[in-house]
Structure 1
Amino acid sequence: MRFVVTIQHPGHVHFFRHAIGELESRGHRVHVFARENGVAVDLLEAYDIDHEILAGEADSMLSLAAVQTTYETRLLYRARRIDPDVITGIGGVAAAHVATALRATGVIFYDTEHASLITSLGYPFADVVCTPSCYRDDVGSKQVTYPGYHELAYLHPDRFEPDPSALDVAGVAPDETFAVVRLSSWNATHDVGHGGVDDPRELVDRLEDAGATVLLTAEGEPPPDLASYQLTSPAERLHDLLAYADVVVGEGATTAAEAAVLGTPSVYVNSLSLGYTDDLEEYGLLYAYDADDRHERALERAVSIVESDSNQWDRRRERLLEERIDVTSFVVRTVESAAHGTNPDRPIPAINPG
């Protein structure tokens, strides 16, 4: 079978990279087309995934429309020559549009309910829309749900084992208490009018006062007074650090969920909530603060975690893994089923297939 995978964000690389490898090992041909965005291309190269870049980065809403048009036009031209059975992506606006034009099967994976522009442009054209079972919206008959999160496509223990050498690369001692702070750029279409941490400097100071070394990762440029905290480790080593951190505090839902599924307590500071952040709260691995007092309450929670000596996080993660699946296996099964013109089970059992 012939598959086209579209990549427009670093998180898309993580989500699809194991599925790409499995599909290729099963004899399928996989073509990856990317749009330059942050560290996405760096990750594709780090994971040795063959790809072609079809468009550059966007620095405004106006330029985003132009870049997206360029990306879709070039994707249509490339995909027509490939004649794919399935075109897939996360959010999948370009994937769904081009699949419709070429009469291929369009399979979208998505987990962000409030990204209404993306869902309104992508969902109507997709043949299959795959969402976590905790996704709040009903997409209709084309929706396939699964008991998991995007992050379990690459951080499930069957797919990932943290490498302690990442600590040395980041300049952190094995027994050192440390926190990872994640700041968002707030330039996505669904971020308009929302916010997270009021004062990043205060957050860093409070964590340091509690005895934690702070490692900062920021979309774009960090605040000038916090530049010295910025991680210089390769992007592909971030998940190792999340696994070993004592706490992760941030504005990005993806990083918050990554930490949580790794068993690291995660403090999510964002006026936007999501079905999967709510679900991870139920496991006691994520603490979400979205109200007007979110900044102070999040700081208090983060400091209390640093100052505690609790060993409850591993037990909570074990419970999660008993009830959630290796999502890569679901991705492979779903796109293969779509290529053969059949539908995967809806929904699949809430078990870890091992």
Structure 2
Amino acid sequence: MRVVVTIQHPGHVHFFRNPIAELEARGHEVHVFARENGVAIDLLEAYDIDHEVLAGESGGLLSLAAVQATYESRLLWRAKRIDPDVITAIGGVAAAHVASVLRTKSVVFYDTEHATLITKLGYPFADVICTPSCYRDDVGPKQVTYPGYHELAYLHPDRFDPDPSVLEAVGLDDDEPFAVVRLSSWGASHDVGHGGFDDPHEIVDRFEDEGLTVLLSAEGEPPEDLESYQFSIAPDRMHDLLAYADVVLSEGATTASEAAVLGTPAVYVNPLSLGYTTELESEYGLLFEYTGEMRHVRGLERAISITEVPSDTWAQRRADLLEDRVDVTRLVVQQLETLARTPATNRSTRASTASER
């Protein structure tokens, strides 16, 4: 079959890179189209994924609509020439729109309930919407649920083995305890009206008082006197670093959940709760979510207390998680192959049935 994969965020590269390789190994023709966003293009190049860039990076929410329109129109032109059997994406606004115009099939993967603009624009046009079983919204008959998380498409042990040489790359000794702190830019459409830590200095001071080295990753510009805490590393090596950290404190849900599925305890500080962050806390105790008042104070206190818990605790909790959850790459490939073979008149129902089998 011919598959079109669309990429509009660095996380999409991680999610699809193993399915792309698997699809190609199974003899399918895969075409990847991308929009510049953060390090998305750098990641595609790092993983040697053949791709075409269709639009540049937006300068903010005001320019996003224009960039999206450019991206969709160019994607429509390219896809029309390819005549794909199925188009897939995360969120899937452009993918679902283009597939609808071309009367081909689309599979959308998503896990972010509060991104309502994306779901309102994309879901009505998609044929199949795949969500983790912890996803809180009922999408209707198009929805296929599965026991997993997006992060298990690329961090499942069958797909990822952390490289300890990353420690030397960031200037750490093998036995040096350290914390990764991820601060968000708060510029996404679903971040409007929210904010992060008022004073990152307090985070650094508290961790250093506990004997941990602090590695700071900030989407925006950190205070000048904290620039020395920012680390530089190839974007495809970030997960190696998360795997060896003693604790991760993150305002971003993706970084926190990546750490959690790797067996690194994570504290997620953000007013927006998600189904998967809640489940990673309630079912496995690998992520600790703070969304209410005083969340930054309470989250930092939990991050400090985590450093006193024996490390084998987290390894056992990760083992429990992996026993319950699937390799999401296999799920992605199966959904695409199933939908491509399914007649258009009843394809959503059949895709759901195949997933249950």
TM-score (norm 2): 0.96
2:338–2:354 CA contact under 8 A, matched in 1: no
Mapping of residues 1-354 of structure 1, within 5 Å: 1-282=1-282, 283-341=284-342, 343-346=350-353, 348=355
Alpha-carbon distance between aligned partners in 2 of 1:169 and 1:73, rounded to the nearest angstrom: 41
Report the AA paired with residue 209 of structure 2: D
1:261-316 per-residue CA deviation (whole Å, 9 max, x = no partner) reads: 00000000001100000010021000000111111111111111124434200010
Alpha-carbon distance between aligned partners in 2 of 1:88 and 1:223, rounded to the nearest angstrom: 40
Alpha-carbon distance between aligned partners in 2 of 1:47 and 1:223, rounded to the nearest angstrom: 33
Alpha-carbon distance between aligned partners in 2 of 1:166 and 1:226, rounded to the nearest angstrom: 22
Alpha-carbon distance between aligned partners in 1 of 2:259 and 2:11, rounded to the nearest angstrom: 14
Alpha-carbon distance between aligned partners in 2 of 1:153 and 1:227, rounded to the nearest angstrom: 33
Shift of 1:216: 1.1
Alpha-carbon distance between aligned partners in 1 of 2:249 and 2:217, rounded to the nearest angstrom: 10
Gaps of 5+ in 2: none
Q: Percent identity?
A: 71
Alpha-carbon distance between aligned partners in 1 of 2:141 and 2:100, rounded to the nearest angstrom: 17
2:111–2:131 CA contact under 8 A, matched in 1: yes
Alpha-carbon distance between aligned partners in 1 of 2:223 and 2:2, rounded to the nearest angstrom: 45
Shift of 1:222: 3.1
Which range is displaced more, 211-220 or 286-295? 211-220
Alpha-carbon distance between aligned partners in 2 of 1:204 and 1:296, rounded to the nearest angstrom: 13
Alpha-carbon distance between aligned partners in 2 of 1:3 and 1:200, rounded to the nearest angstrom: 44
Alpha-carbon distance between aligned partners in 2 of 1:87 and 1:221, rounded to the nearest angstrom: 36
1:241-272 per-residue CA deviation (whole Å, 9 max, x = no partner) reads: 10000000010000000000000000000011
- Runs (4 or more) in structure 1 with deviation over 6 Å come to none
Report the AA paired with residue 333 of structure 2: V
Alpha-carbon distance between aligned partners in 2 of 1:236 and 1:242, rounded to the nearest angstrom: 12
1:186–1:195 CA contact under 8 A, matched in 2: yes
TM-score (norm 1): 0.96
SS state at 2:4 partner: strand
Report the AA paired with residue 74 of structure 1: R
1:9-55 per-residue CA deviation (whole Å, 9 max, x = no partner) reads: 00000000000000001110000000000000000000000000000
Q: How many residues are matched?
A: 350
1:167-201 per-residue CA deviation (whole Å, 9 max, x = no partner) reads: 11011111000000011110000011123323211
Gaps of 5+ in 1: none
Alpha-carbon distance between aligned partners in 1 of 2:100 and 2:220, rounded to the nearest angstrom: 34
Alpha-carbon distance between aligned partners in 1 of 2:219 and 2:87, rounded to the nearest angstrom: 28
